[in-house]
Structures are given as structure tokens and as C-alpha cells.
Structure 1
Amino acid sequence: MSDRDDPEIIGRRVQQLRVERGLTQRQLAEPAYTAAYISTLESGRVRPSDQALRHLAGRLGVAFDELATGRPARLVTDLRLRLIEAQRTLATGDTEEAAHSYALLLAEAEELQLAEAQYDALIGLGEAAVESGELVEGRRYFERAELVLADAPLPARVPALRGRALAHYLAGELRYAVYLLESTLDELNRGGLHDPDALLLLYASIIGPYMDMGAHARAAQAAELALALAPQAGDPALVARMHRSVARTLIAEGRVAEADASLAKAAELYRGLQLRTELANCHWMRGYVCAQNGELERAEAELRQALAMLSAKRAALYSSQAAVELADVLHRRGKSEEAAALLHDVLGDLSSERGAVHSAAAHRLLGIIAEDARDPETAEEHYVRALSLLERAGAAGDLADLCRLLGDLLRREGRVEAALDAYRTGLGHRTAPGTTTLGPAPAQPPL
């Protein structure tokens, strides 16, 4: 039971403050209440209404919240300000420093019994852990955050749900990540909980998993809904993240110029907000756009900048993912040795439990490099490892492409039956493009 719900605690607090200020019960009560009421309240025999507490707080010269809970208002305000500073540190500075700040703030919030502050601190700790590649730890923080606000409306819990989905996504558990995001979207939209910021965060977050699963139709639909929600959103960081995510679907549709324009908008917003990690991600995606458009020199420059920014911020998992993209561009520019060295470093940081899709991408590219070096045995080994990772992750589009590469290699080696098996596996993943095997798409918001 909280202090606010305990009449005895409030009564003792009112009596202590009255005595400290040299007031009689009658002086405290006038003009709205009687001395008898104050006597009954101070003895804990009556539960004061909010109206009564506001009157007493005014007479005693304290804030309503301080009188109702015993928490000095300045402590609460100071805690909130330091939470914002920790958020800024995470976005623009040192992940470890931000995590340390959030841990201290969480302890204070728990001592003061401030649920919302506990929630914000746990979200920050989860985001810092994910940026550092500690996906299991990050997921646990997000789960704790959900429990703290278990009785709050769903929109308030969306950042925790999205964080948990992100941790599963980066661990290669694509289907479960999509399930979490789709079910939350469905509940929000069917329940009429039209919160633009919450919906925008969810739609922007689900585009990546959809793309990796080969569900391009749903990714495109999510991008359209995100664009429609953007003008209503109050958080510019969310709008920037949306522009970056939408660029992926534009690339898939061959709308390179529009994708580049979307990323330019995101970069401008992030630069203004000084969100270094997200700005690095913009350079990362811009490099990807350039690579798809054949502008390899510019792609290399953009990806090197992204990698340098992410490494400086110690965002280990994101750094590894950007490194895979850079290695692909280096290989295409004839710098295969540098690309292979970069990929081997990446594989030292990634595993099947941590960045499965990008670990598979590293093995795939190492296989291609080995084929170019006329080393089919090593190439096959990398392709098979990538195949195993992608099958567990459910990345259908990547799986089909990898099966084609493996089948072509086996065919050139004269192993026709094995090649046919690889092709059949790939065709099996091409049979239902644009689906997630999760049933109907979530309900749409009333735009």
C-alpha cells in the first residue's frame, strides 16, 4: 500500500508539518474545514480527499504530491531532469556512462517509489544493454519495465514492448519479434487507443523484421502507415527513426532517390537532436542506398563514417552490422582481403544468439570471397553455416538467395543431387512472398 493510501501516515505528516509551522488545528482548518476534522485526520481515522489535501498543502506551504506521498517535490523534479540527461548521454555520448547513470537513477526511483521514473530508468538500461550487444540483459530490463507499469494503459508500455521485440529481432528471433509488434499494434488499433507516438514507434520498428523475413508487402504497408502518422507525432526522434526505416522499403521498390531524400530528412532531425547513434545509422543506410545504386565509392565513405561513429560510441552490435555492409562494398570494389579481415572480426563479436541475420550475412559474403579465390570447400562451409543461422531466424528472403548461391556452387562441383536439394529449399521459401506465417496483418489505425 502506498503512503497516499494510508491515512495514518498522512495524518502523522500533517501533524508534524502543522507543529513545525506553529499552527493550531483551527488555523490549519479554516476556512474550509473544522478543527475537529483536522483532529480526526491527524489521528488517522479518516482518509482525506484530494480536495482536502490540496487545501492543507496550501496552508502548510508544501506541494500536494509531497503531502500525499512524503516525497519532496524538488527530489522528484531533480530525478526527472537527471533521467533526461541520462537519455541524452545515451544518445550522444558514452553507453557505459549512460548505463551507470540509469542504474543510480533506478535505485533512487525505487527508494522514492516513483513507478514512472523506474520505468524510464529500466528502458534506458535496456537500450544501453542492446546497444552494447547484451541482448539477454537488455530484454530482462524491458521485461522488468513492463511489470512496473503492468496496470498502466497499453500506450505507456509500448516502449518496453518494442524494446523486448528489438532484443529478440537482433538475436535472430524474427518471427517472435514480429509477433510481439503485430499483436501490440492489433490491440492498440482494435481498442481505439490511437496514440500517434506509440503507433509510429511500432510501425517504424517492424519494418526491419518484415524486410529480413521477405515480407515486403507488409513492410511497405507499415511504411505507408508510419508516414501517415508522422505529422501527428510529438517526438521528432520518432519521426527521424521513421524516415530511416521507410527508406528500406523505398529501396526495395527501386525508389532510390526517394529513399535518399527520406534519409536526408532523418539525418537533419537527428543532427538537430544530437542523436549520434541514430545519425550514424542514417549514414549506414545512406551507404546501403548508394551501394544498391552502384555508387560504390560514396557508399564506402558513408559506411566508414557510420562504422567510425558507432565504434566511438561503443555500440558493439550496431557496429558489427554496419561492418558487414561495408565489407560487401569493399569486396565489390576489389578490396577482398580487407573485406575478409573485417568479416572475421565481426564473427568474433556475433553469434547465433546475438545478431544471427548479420552473422549469416558475414558467412555468406565470406563464401562469395572464397568462391572468387577458387576455394569451393571453404565457400561451401560458409554457405552452410549461413543457411543454418537463417533457418533458425526465419529470414525467408535471405534464405532463398543463399540457397541459390549454394546450389550454383554444388552444381559447378558436379554434385547435381545436392544442388537440386539446395534449389528446392530455396524455392520453398519463395512460395509465399510477403507473408510472415503469422496469420492476418494487424488492424490498421483510424487515420
Structure 2
Amino acid sequence: MRERDDPQVIGRRVQHLRAERGLTQRQLAEPAYTPAYISTLEAGRVRASDEALRHIAGRLGVAFEELAVGRPAHLATDLRLRLTEAQRLLADGRAEDAAAQYAALLAEAESHGLACEQATALLGLGECALETGELGSARECFERAEERLAGESLPVRVPAVRGRAVSHYLAGELRYAVYLLESTLDELNRGGLHDPDALLLLYASVIGPYMDMGAHARAAQAAEFALALAPRAADPALIARMHRSVARTLLAEGRVAEADASLAKAAELYRQLQLRTELANCHWMRGYVYAQDGELERAEEELRQALAMLSETRAALYRSQAAVELADVLHRRGKSAEAAGLLEGVLGDFSSERGAVHAAGAHRLLGIIAEDTRDTEAAEEHYVRALSLLERAGAAGDLADLCRLLGDLLRRTGRVEAALDAYRTGLGHRTAPGTTTLGPAPAQPPL
């Protein structure tokens, strides 16, 4: 609870409530206190003890907090119920409506000094901003949530840290996202703070950045820890998110059937929980799995469904990312004109600070399509732009392949020296599986 108001403020509050109820100072004071004490308190000349305020609150028929800090009874409970309603709006894909409700609840929580409810509202606003692709705003909300929770234990602060890391990841700052997640994992595990939900949230969140950086061994280990922690976790939405993340590592290891099974589990949980955006992301991942396994017709079906659902929920950044995956499948199915149109339509949603890895994927695919039509100048321009985005993001997993494509193009057009430079750059990014320039792996959880 926040610090009590000044004696003068409390005195005026007591006097107002007493007059409102038609009580005399003697009636309010008896049997434990004197009318003179009530008079002095109402004049603001004495700081009442908690015991005295509880007695007066009981006589007035109000909660102690209403006298001490002016907070109506049951306010915190009511706020928490309305925060849950806002969370449901977000889960239903109505991010803008949810953001408006979270903002109103944040202002109300701030006016009454309710720090935990403020943090919950800020976390909700951050998730809304992630969904609508406003990454700077999302990061600011998560930072403010962390500030409100500064006095709480690390497991309580983990959702805010994870939100901040995801904001950096989606902005293309892979290395910093990994640093945030790994250092928090390390602190939890070394400090003996073995909260299953907090650990599972962090391990599920670090898999994506690891994969994009080419740190496949670390991604596989994080997936292994996440699967081991899942039976101890209490949040079904978190377990579903874990299954979705783990599918990426299973796919990288060629375990396609297991990846699909993991996504099926996630999708079923999302359906039960009615989490529309997360369910759409599940269709997206299943499309990706089918595409990697060569089942292009099924991949197209899943990705079209994901794109339609994400368009309905106005999840701008996620929609654009799913569109890039769908365009890749369309190109492989011989529908290059539709693929190019889709990519040109979403490129404006990306930038070097927003969805850099998928922006690079869009330019890479446009380069391949341009090469197919023998427009080598446009192809080179797309490859170079993709290379710049990937280098800035540190996405070593995709850089080597892109350098090969650029080198082949330069060699075919007679620029051998430039082609050799591109190949050398690519070789520099072909690290051994699982190795990166990251620091030591975080301490392991006690499994």
C-alpha cells in the first residue's frame, strides 16, 4: 500500500464522512476515544495511529484504506477484474480496444497508487503495442512496468523483462534480446529462484533469437529445458507458447513429425483458451513446417489461414511476417507474380528497426523472383538490401545463404572479384552449428 496521506488530508476526509453520516464527534469517538481527540484529528493537528483509524473507519462504515489514502473499498479487486477483461479483448485480437481499456485502467491505478495494477496495465499496453507493431512504444511500456515492480522478486519482474527482450528481437536487435533473456535466466538459476512459469517464459522466448543467430545448439538446449519445465508450469497459454517455440528446434533437427505434433498441442490449447492471435501464429508455424517438408499445398493452406486471421486482428507486424512466409510458398508453387505482389504490399510495414529479419527475407525472395525474369539489376539491389538488414540484426543463420546468392549473381554477370568478396563474407558467417560470439551459456535449472 502507498504511504498514508498527510494528517490534514485525512482530517478533512474524516470530517466530511462524519458529517455525511450525521454523526457527532462524541458518537464517532466512543467508546475508545474522546471527542477532543476527534476534533484534533479533524483539524489535522495529530497523526492518527493505524489502530485509531481502523476504529474510526469501522464507526464510519468504510475501509481503512479509504481513510488512509482515499482509496474506495474493493477498488484493487475491481481493477484486477477489469484488467482481466482487457486481457480477453487482446486475446480476441482486438488490440486497439484492449489498449484503450488498459490506458484508462493505468490512469485509475496511478491515481490511487496501486503499483502492481499499474504494472499489469503497462504489461498489457506493451503486448498491445507488440501486436500492432509499435515496438518503441512497447519497449517503453515494458520498461515502465519494470520500474513499478522494482521492489518485487525477480520472478515477478520476468514478464516485463521478457517483453522488453521481444521488443528488441522484433526490432532486429537479436544480440541484445539474447543478452537480456540469458542474463535473467542466469540470475534466476544461480540465485535459486526456480519459478517454473518464469523460467519457461524465458526459455520459450530465447529460442527464436537463438535460431536466427545460428545458435542451434543453444536453441535445442533451451527447448529441452522448456519441455522439462512444462509439467510444473501453471499457465496453459505459456505452455502453448512453449510448444510453438520448441517446434522450431525440432524442425531444425529434421524431426518434422515431432514439430508438427508440438504445434498441434499448441493449437489445441489456443483454441480452448480462445487466443486468436496466438492460434493464427500456430497456423503460420504449421505452414512453415509443411513448407520445410515439401508439402507446399498444405503449407499454402495453413499460411493463408494465418494471414486471414492476423488481418482480422490487425496484428500488423505479425501479418506482414506471415505474408513473407506465404510468398515463399507461392513462389515455390509457381505463383511468382502473386508472391511478388504480396511482398511489395508488405515491405512498407518493415524497416531496419522493425521486423528486420523478415524484411531481409522479403528482399531475398524478391531478388530470386527478379533473377527468374533475368532482371539482374533489381535482383542485386534486393540482395544487397537484405544483406545490410541481416548484418545489422546479427542474423548469422541467414547471412551465409544470402552471400552465396549474391556471389552467384555477381559471378554470372562477370564480376568475379566482387563475387569472391561476397563468398568470403558468407564463409565468415558459416560458424560451426551452435557456436556464436555470445558469452558463456546461462546456468542450468535444477531439473
Q: Deviation of residue 9 (structure 1)?
A: 4.6
Residue 260 to residue 98, structure 1, CA distance change in 2 (3 Å): same
Question: Are 2:321 and 1:342 equivalent residues in the alignment?
Answer: no
Over 3 Å counting, the alpha-carbon distance change for 1:272 and 1:410 in structure 2 is same
In structure 2, how many angstroms separate the alpha carbons of the residues matched to 1:52 and 1:201? 45
How many residues are paired up?
Answer: 444
Distance in 1, Cα, partners of 2:234 & 2:10: 38
Matches within 5 A, 1:160-175: 160-175=160-175
Counterparts of 2:48 and 2:187 in 1: how far apart (Å)?
37
1:287-316 deviations in Å (ceiling 9; x for gaps): 001111111101000000000000111100
Where does 1:289-368 land on structure 2 (aligned, <5 Å)?
289-368=289-368
For the 8 Å contact 1:90–1:98, the answer to whether it is kept is: yes
Give the structure 2 partner of residue 90 of structure 1: 90
Secondary structure of residue in 1 paired with 2:74 = helix
| Alpha-carbon separation, structure 2, partners of 1:173 and 1:291 | 27
Do the aligned residues in 2 keep the contact of 1:196 with 1:232 (CA within 8 Å)? yes
CA distance, structure 1, for counterparts of residue 136 and residue 36 of structure 2: 54
8 Å CA contact 1:41–1:48 kept in 2: the answer is: no
| 1:282 and 2:282 are equivalent in the alignment | yes
Shift of 1:73: 2.3
Q: 1:131, CA displacement in angstroms? A: 1.1
Q: Quote how far apart the aligned CAs of 1:113 are.
A: 1.6
Distance, in Å, in 1 between the alignment partners of 2:143 and 2:294 is 43
- Contact in 2 for aligned 1:26/1:34 (Cα 8 Å): no
Q: Which amino acid aligns with 1:48?
A: S
Equivalence for 1:415: 415
- Within 2, Cα distance between the matches of 1:210 and 1:436? 9
| Counterpart secondary structure, 1:84 | helix
Distance in 1 separating the partners of 2:28 and 2:111: 34
Preserved contact between residue 259 and residue 289 of structure 1 (Cα < 8 Å): yes
Contact 2:93 / 2:314 at 8 angstroms: preserved in 1? no
Contact 2:284–2:322 (CA under 8 A) maintained in structure 1: yes
Taking every aligned residue pair, what percent have the same amino acid on both sides?
79
Any idea what SS the aligned residue of 1:159 has? Answer: helix
* Structure 1 position 41, deviation (Å): 7.0
Cα deviation, residue 55, structure 1: 6.1
C-alpha displacement of 1:233: 1.6
Q: Residue 25 and residue 279 in structure 1: after superposition, are their counterparts in 2 closer, same or farther (change >3 A)?
A: farther
1:226 correspondence with 2:226: yes
Separation in 2 of the partners of 1:21 and 1:240? Answer: 58
In structure 1, the gaps of 5 or more residues are none
What secondary structure, in the 3-state scheme, does the structure 2 residue paired with 1:73 have? coil
Match of 1:382 in 2: 382
For 1:142, what is the secondary structure of its paired residue?
A: helix
Return the alpha-carbon distance in structure 1 between the equivalents of residues 101 and 28 of structure 2.
Answer: 45
In structure 2, how many angstroms separate the alpha carbons of the residues matched to 1:443 and 1:111? 41
Moved more, 72-81 or 6-15: 6-15
Q: Once the two structures are superposed, what CA deviation does each residue of 1:163-202 show, in whole Å capped at 9, x if it has no partner?
A: 1111111111111111111111112222222222222111
Residue of structure 1 in register with 2:80 after alignment: 80
Structure 1 counterpart of 2:122, one-letter code: L
In 2, are the aligned partners of 1:25 and 1:38 still within 8 Å (CA)?
no
Q: 1:196 maps to what in 2?
A: 196
**2:49 match:** 48
- Confirm or deny: 8 A CA contact 2:99 2:128 kept in the other structure: yes
C-alpha spacing 1:25/1:247, structure 2 compared with 1 (3 Å)? farther
Distance 1:28 1:230 in 2: 57
CA distance in 2, matches of 1:422, 1:168: 28
In 1, are the aligned partners of 2:28 and 2:60 still within 8 Å (CA)?
Answer: no
Partner of 2:132: 132
Number of the residue aligned with 1:241:
241
CA shift, 1:205, in A, is 0.9
Q: Does 1:71 align with 2:64?
A: no
Matched, 1:153 2:153: yes
Q: Where in structure 2 are the equivalents of 1:17-56 lying within 5 Å?
A: 17=17, 20=21, 22=23, 45-46=46-47, 48-49=49-50
Q: 1:281/1:18 Cα in 2 relative to 1: closer, same or farther (>3 Å)? A: same
Q: Deviations over 1:101-146 (max 9, x none)?
A: 1121222111122111211121121211121111112211222222
Give distance in 2, aligned partners of 1:268 and 1:65. Answer: 44
Instruction: Please give the alpha-carbon distance, in whole angstroms, between the structure 2 residues aligned to 1:261 and 1:110.
Output: 45
Counterpart residue type for residue 49 of structure 2: P
- Taking the aligned partners of 1:362 and 1:289, their CA distance within structure 2 comes to 19
Matched residue type, 2:387? L
Q: Tell me the alpha carbon deviations over residues 23-70 of structure 1, each in whole angstroms, 9 at most, x when there is no partner.
A: 87698676xx66599758776645635x77666655554334434432
State the SS of the aligned residue for 1:374: coil
- Would the alpha carbon gap of residues 215 and 54 (structure 1) be closer, same or farther in structure 2, given more than 3 Å must change? farther
Unmatched 5+ stretches in structure 2: none
CA separation of 1:436 and 1:24: change in aligned 2, threshold 3 A: farther
For residues 280 and 63 of structure 1, do their structure 2 counterparts lie closer, same or farther at Cα, with a shift above 3 Å needed? same
Structure 1 residues 37 and 162 mapped into 2: Cα distance closer, same or farther (>3 Å)?
A: farther
Q: Are residues 428 and 4 of structure 1, via their aligned partners in 2, closer, same or farther at CA, if it must alter by over 3 Å?
A: same
**Other structure's SS at 2:438 match:** coil
Residue of structure 2 equivalent to 1:211 = 211
CA shift for structure 1 position 221: 1.1
What is the CA–CA distance in structure 2 between the aligned matches of 1:189 and 1:266, rounded to whole Å? 26
> What SS is found at the alignment partner of 1:353?
coil
- Quote the residue 1:109 is aligned against: 109
User: RMSD of the alignment, in Å?
Assistant: 2.5
Over 3 Å counting, the alpha-carbon distance change for 1:52 and 1:158 in structure 2 is farther
Distance in 2 of aligned mates of 1:204 and 1:41: 56
Give, in whole Å, the separation in 2 of the partners of 1:445 and 1:45.
53
Counterpart of 1:445 in 2: which secondary structure?
coil
TM-score, length of structure 1 as denominator length = 0.92
Shift of the 438–68 alpha-carbon distance from structure 1 to 2, 3 Å rule, reads: farther
Q: Could you tell me how far 1:76 is from its partner in structure 2?
A: 2.8
Q: Which residue of 2 is the match for residue 182 of structure 1?
A: 182
Cα-to-partner distance string for 1:190-225 (whole Å, 9 max, x where unaligned): 222222222211111111111111111111111111
Task: Give the distance between the partners of 1:186 and 1:153, measured in 2 at CA.
Answer: 15
Letter matched to residue 291 of structure 1: A
Provide the C-alpha distance between the structure 1 equivalents of 2:65 and 2:128, rounded to a whole number of angstroms: 31
